[in-house]
């Protein structure tokens, strides 16, 4: 709570309002960033929307707002943010992209999936490729993913989670990072940076947003 209050001091200094796009991935700090940017939106008196860009009306309307996509991938980047056709590209909208070191993301996902109550974790599914070569593959195939993790050791469970994640959120994270890393409109926020220096990372984040807003056509002259 104290950290979020300190973050308020940083984003109260941001410049004029305009759409902000935010992209996160599973276990990269989504809840933390959403709470911070919901506070940011409240302070700016603009709308806040999650969990996907395609359902955020403020992009098409080109109105002030914060639009969060909790599972950012390359297709959504191309459709909503990258030039030439997207409204966000026309506006040169800033993008905040959160990433996390892959092994940490795997461990966090493993711990979360062991106990989470999401429906998909309890639905029987085929994981043949993930389970391939595992000694218990024959008995684990077809079980819900949560049950797979609970029937294996922590070491095996983390390995299996990494195998699954690397074809899903970790791959999406890498593709989005590689597609945006050289763009000045992007602030890439590393989860590890918030753990090492929360205040400094928040200062950089909201300084970036303030500068991005101030440089937009029609805003700098207001």
Distances (CA, A) of 11 to 16, 45, 80, 186, 210: 11, 13, 25, 17, 8
148: how many CB neighbours lie within 10 A of its CB?
Answer: 26
- The beta strands (E) that lie in 89-193 are given as 95-99, 186-190
Please answer whether residues 212 and 185 qualify as being in contact, where contact means their C-beta atoms are separated by less than 8 angstroms.
Answer: yes
Q: What is the tens place of the pLDDT at every residue in 186-207? A: 999 999 999 999 999 999 999 9
102: how many CB neighbours lie within 10 A of its CB?
Answer: 16
Question: How far, in Å, CA of 212 to CA of 198, rounded?
Answer: 21
Q: What is the tens place of the pLDDT at every residue in 93-141? A: 889 999 999 999 999 999 999 999 999 999 998 877 888 888 888 889 8
The tokens describing 198, both together, are 């929360």
Tell me which of 12 and 135 has the higher pLDDT. Answer: 135
Query: Is the predicted pLDDT of residue 50 greater than 70, yes or no?
Result: yes
Q: What is the tens place of the pLDDT at every residue in 145-181? A: 999 999 999 999 999 999 999 988 999 999 999 999 9
Would you state the pLDDT for residue 187?
95
Question: How far, in Å, CA of 154 to CA of 98, rounded?
Answer: 27
Q: How crowded is the C-beta side of 198, counted as CA atoms within 13 Å?
A: 13
Strands of 95-99's sheet in order across: 47-49, 65-69, 19-23, 95-99, 186-190
Q: Is 208 left (phi over 0), alpha (psi -120 to 50) or beta?
A: alpha
Percent of the chain with pLDDT over 90: 55
């Amino acid at each position: 709570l104290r950290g979020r209050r300190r973050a308020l001091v940083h984003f109260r200094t941001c410049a004029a309002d305009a759409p902000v796009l935010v992209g996160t991935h599973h276990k990269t700090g989504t809840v933390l960033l959403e709470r911070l940017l919901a506070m940011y939106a409240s302070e700016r008196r603009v709308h806040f929307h999650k969990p996907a860009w395609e359902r955020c009306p403020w992009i098409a309307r080109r109105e002030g707002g914060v639009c969060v996509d909790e599972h950012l991938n390359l297709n959504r980047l191309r459709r909503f943010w990258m030039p030439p056709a997207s409204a966000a590209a026309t506006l040169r909208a800033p993008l905040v992209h959160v990433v996390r070191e892959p092994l940490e993301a795997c461990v966090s996902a493993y711990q979360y999936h062991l106990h989470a109550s999401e429906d998909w974790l309890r639905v029987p599914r085929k994981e043949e490729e993930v389970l391939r070569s595992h000694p218990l593959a024959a008995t684990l195939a077809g079980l819900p993913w949560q049950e797979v993790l609970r029937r294996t050791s922590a070491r095996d469970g983390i390995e299996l989670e990494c195998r699954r994640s690397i074809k899903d959120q970790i791959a999406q994270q890498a593709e989005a990072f590689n597609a945006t890393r050289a763009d000045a409109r992007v602030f890439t926020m590393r989860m590890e940076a918030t753990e090492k220096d929360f205040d400094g990372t928040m200062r950089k984040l909201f300084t970036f947003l303030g500068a991005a807003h101030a440089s937009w056509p029609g805003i700098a002259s207001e």
